[in-house]
Homo-oligomer: A and B are copies of this chain.
Amino acid sequence: MQEQGFTLWFTGLSGAGKTTISQRVGEHLRQQGKKVEILDGDIVRQHLTRDLGFSKADRDENIYRIGFVAHLLCRNGVYVLVAAISPYADARQKVREMIGRNFLEIYVNSPLAVCEARDVKGLYKKARAGEIKHFTGIDDPYEPPTNPDLECRTDRETIEESVRKVLQLLALRAGQKHEILLR
Contacts and interface: CB of A to CB of B under 8 A. Distances in A.
Pick the most buried of A35, A51, A61, A76: most chain B CB atoms within 10 A of its CB: A76
A183 interface: no
A65 B65 CA distance: 10
A2 interface: yes
Interface in A44-73: 47-48, 51-52, 61, 64-65, 68-69, 72-73
A37 B68 contact: no
B65 A35 contact: no
A2 to B, nearest CB: 7
Contacts of A68: 47-48
Number of this chain's copies in the complex: 2
A9 B2 CA distance: 25
Contact of A69 (B2, B51, B72): B72
Interface in A66-117: 68-69, 72-73, 76-78
Contacts of A52: 51
Interface of A: 2, 35, 37, 47-48, 51-52, 61, 64-65, 68-69, 72-73, 76-78
Kindly list the 8 A-B residue pairs having the minimum CB-CB distance in the complex, ordered from nearest.
A47-B68, A35-B76, A76-B78, A69-B69, A48-B65, A51-B51, A37-B72, A72-B73
